[in-house]
């Protein structure tokens, strides 16, 4: 068995095509034995059922919104007990757990400077509970709490800029990644662990169920998010942008939106054009801001 299969086994119950197991395995590949604190959400439910745990590392799930604080406590205990050499402390938390309900705990963990790697698994909504919108749901997405209707074109507000929030806290290492590029995830985690203090990696993770795509399209769709510059892959070290994933022939955002049921209404909704134009503007701005075009 490969190392990451031993640390996160095949016993999980994710939907076929789900990005979460790819993300977790790619992270554990880099960390090796480590301490995991997980928030309530899809990953927790697919991996931690009593008697069927998929985890080969010490794992704890407390509640929805406190994984950052729980991890901080583990780190403090390891320090006090002289056991820091046992392995790094890693958080796996959903976008809802991170950007909405748990942002206070996350801010506290950053602010106090705990030696913790925080991994946000960004599937762009509360997927565990049925695709309700989160702060990281992109505009135009039809979720069960921001459904497309006769008047509204799905979610109206922008995607919260969590990497910027992490940077504002002076997190030592901040990066985005995508399940379309697993080796890149592993490399980034390795790099992150070279920094002592808080580290934040946000991984774009496909949700076949909530996004309304076929399992086979999962990775191509995730790749399109990067290739349209809607999900820029960027890397900051001590506040400085150090690396980006360049895009050769940047694709129009429609190519990313079309295969997904959550965006399908945009192509016939009266406000659809406006929303697509806004998403294209966001992509263009990302490309410019981070110098993505090769």
Partner 1 sequence: MMKVVRGFYAVAYSVKLCRPDVICAYPITPQSEIVENIAQMYANGELGNCEYITAESEFGAASILVGASAAGARTYTATCSQGLILMSEVLWNAAGMRLPIVLTIANRSLSAPLSIWNDHQDSMAMRDAGIIQMYVENNQEVHDMMPQAFKIAENHKVLLPMMVCMDGYKLTHAYEPVDLLSQELVDEFLPPYDPPVKMTTKEPYTFGSYATPASYMEFRVAVYNAMERARKVIEDVYKEWAEISGRDWGGNIVAENCEDADVCVMAMGSLVGLVREVVKELRDEGKKVGFIKIRTFRPFPADEIAKAVDNAEKVIVFERSLSMGSDAPVTLDVKSAIHKKAIDVYSPVVGLGGRDVPQNLVKSIIEEVMENKVEPGTYFRGLKDYEEVIV
Task: Give the residues lining the site for Mg ion (CB under 5 A).
Answer: 94-95, 123, 127
The residue from 1, 10, 82, 183 that contacts partner 1 (CB under 8 A) is 82
Query: CB under 5 to 8 A by kind: which of ligand SF4, partner 1, Mg ion, none does 95 bind?
Result: Mg ion
Taking CA atoms, 19 is separated from 42, 69, 72, 91, 180, in Å, by 11, 25, 26, 17, 9
How far is residue 167's CA from residue 176's CA, in Å, rounded to a whole number?
12
- Interface with ligand SF4 by CB under 6 A: which range of 12-20, 233-241, 273-281, 286-294? 12-20
Cβ 177 vs Cβ 202: under 8 Å: yes
Q: With respect to Mg ion, which residue has the nearer C-beta, 18 or 276?
A: 18
Contacts 24+ apart (CB under 8 A), 275-281: 275/139, 275/140, 275/153, 275/154, 276/140, 278/139, 278/140, 279/138, 279/139, 279/140, 279/230, 279/253, 280/252, 280/253
Interface of this chain with ligand TPP, residues 121 to 140, rule: CB under 6 A: 121, 123, 126-129, 134
The yes or no reply on residue 165 touching ligand SF4 (CB under 6 A) is no
The yes or no reply on residue 265 touching partner 1 (CB under 8 A) is no
| Number of residues located near ligand TPP, criterion CB under 6 A | 17
Q: With respect to ligand TPP, which residue has the nearer C-beta, 30 or 43?
A: 43
52: left (phi over 0), alpha (psi -120 to 50) or beta: alpha
The yes or no reply on residue 113 touching partner 1 (CB under 8 A) is no
Cβ 266 vs Cβ 276: under 8 Å: yes
The yes or no reply on residue 192 touching ligand TPP (CB under 6 A) is no
Query: CB under 5 to 8 A by kind: which of ligand SF4, ligand TPP, partner 1, none does 175 bind?
Result: none
* SS3 of residue 135 by DSSP: coil
Which residues have C-beta within 8 Å of that of residue 53, sequence separation ≥ 6?
11, 47, 59
The yes or no reply on residue 9 touching partner 1 (CB under 8 A) is no
Q: Which residue has the tokens 């110098």?
A: 291
How far is residue 34's CA from residue 113's CA, in Å, rounded to a whole number?
19
Q: How many Cα atoms occupy the beta-carbon half-sphere of 266 within 13 Å? A: 27
Q: Which residue has the tokens 């940047």?
A: 250
- Interface with partner 1 by CB under 8 A: which range of 27-35, 119-127, 224-232, 271-279? 27-35
- The token pair at 215 is 């399992």
- Interface with ligand SF4 by CB under 6 A: which range of 160-168, 191-199, 204-212, 240-248? 204-212
Query: Measured from the CB of residue 43, what is the shortest distance to Mg ion in angstroms?
Result: 9
Q: Are strands 35-38 and 240-244 parallel, antiparallel or unpaired?
A: unpaired
The residue from 7, 23, 28, 42 that contacts ligand TPP (CB under 6 A) is 42
The residue from 26, 127, 133, 146 that contacts ligand SF4 (CB under 6 A) is 127
Residues at the contact surface with ligand TPP, assessed by CB under 6 A: 39-43, 64, 94-97, 121, 123, 126-129, 134
Residues at the contact surface with ligand SF4, assessed by CB under 6 A: 14-15, 18, 20, 42, 46, 123, 127, 207-210
Residues at the contact surface with partner 1, assessed by CB under 8 A: 33-35, 37, 44-45, 48-51, 53, 55-63, 65-66, 69-83, 86-87, 104-105, 107-108, 111-112
């Amino acid at each position: 068995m490969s190392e990451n299969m031993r640390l996160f086994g095949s016993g999980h119950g994710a939907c076929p095509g789900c990005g979460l197991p790819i993300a977790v395995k790619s992270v554990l590949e880099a960390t090796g034995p480590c301490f995991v604190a997980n928030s309530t959400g899809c990953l927790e439910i697919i991996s931690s059922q009593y008697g069927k745990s998929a985890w080969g590392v010490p794992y704890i799930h407390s509640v929805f919104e406190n994984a950052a604080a729980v991890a901080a406590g583990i780190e403090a205990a390891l320090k006090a007990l002289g056991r820091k050499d046992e392995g790094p402390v890693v958080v796996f938390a959903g976008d809802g757990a991170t950007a909405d309900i748990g942002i206070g705990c996350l801010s506290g963990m950053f602010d106090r400077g705990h030696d913790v790697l925080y991994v946000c698994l960004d599937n762009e909504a509360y997927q565990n509970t049925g695709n309700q919108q989160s702060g990281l749901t992109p505009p135009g997405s039809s979720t069960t709490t921001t459904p497309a209707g006769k008047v509204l074109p799905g979610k109206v507000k922008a995607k919260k800029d969590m990497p910027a929030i992490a940077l504002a806290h002076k997190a030592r290492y901040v990066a985005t990644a995508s399940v379309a590029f697993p080796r890149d995830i592993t490399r980034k985690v390795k790099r992150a662990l070279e920094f002592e203090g808080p580290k934040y990696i946000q991984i774009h993770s496909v949700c076949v169920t909530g996004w309304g795509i076929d399992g086979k399209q999962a990775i191509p769709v995730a790749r399109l998010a990067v290739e349209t510059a809607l999900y820029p892959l960027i890397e900051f070290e001590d506040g400085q942008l150090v690396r980006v994933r360049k895009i050769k022939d940047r694709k129009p955002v429609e190519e990313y939106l079309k295969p997904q049921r959550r965006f399908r209404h945009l192509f016939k909704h009266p406000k659809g054009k406006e929303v697509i134009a806004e998403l294209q503007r966001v992509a263009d701005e990302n490309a410019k801001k981070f110098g993505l075009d090769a």
